[in-house]
Amino acid sequence: MAVPPEVLDILLLALFNPATLVAGYWFGRNADQLQKIVVGAFAAGIAGTIFAWGVMRFGQTTGTPKLLSGIFVVSAIAGLGWASLGFWVRKNRAKE
């Protein structure tokens, strides 16, 4: 069973997105409560979507703007992972 090319574009543009990684990790590092990593995940999703839009706008990928909603969802999920990592690294470092 073949995966549609649009799904591959969404996954590639969302998971290998430096804006999602940086924003998610940064918000996670600055979160002082566990609940705030959800806000970091949302912000990472927005940052990743804006970065992907810029990549599409300047013709660096074959993606189309109709993929941005899917990119936001996958970027937010990936951002949740990066924000969680940033939060736990800061929390463990504070114990030392």
pLDDT in tens, 44-96: 999 999 999 999 999 888 888 899 999 999 999 999 999 999 999 987 776 65
Give the pLDDT confidence score for residue 24 in this predicted structure: 96
pTM: 0.87
Domain of residue 17, residue span: 5-94
Number of domains within the chain: 1
* pLDDT tens, position by position, 13-32: 999 999 999 999 999 999 98
The count of C-alpha atoms lying within 13 angstroms of the C-alpha of 1, restricted to the half-sphere facing its C-beta, is 0
Tell me the three-class secondary structure of 10-63, residue by residue: HHHHHHCCHHHHHHHHHHHHHCCCCCHHHHHHHHHHHHHHHHHHHHHHCCCCCC
User: String of b and e for 69-78 (b: at least 16 CB within 10 Å)?
Assistant: ebbbebbbeb
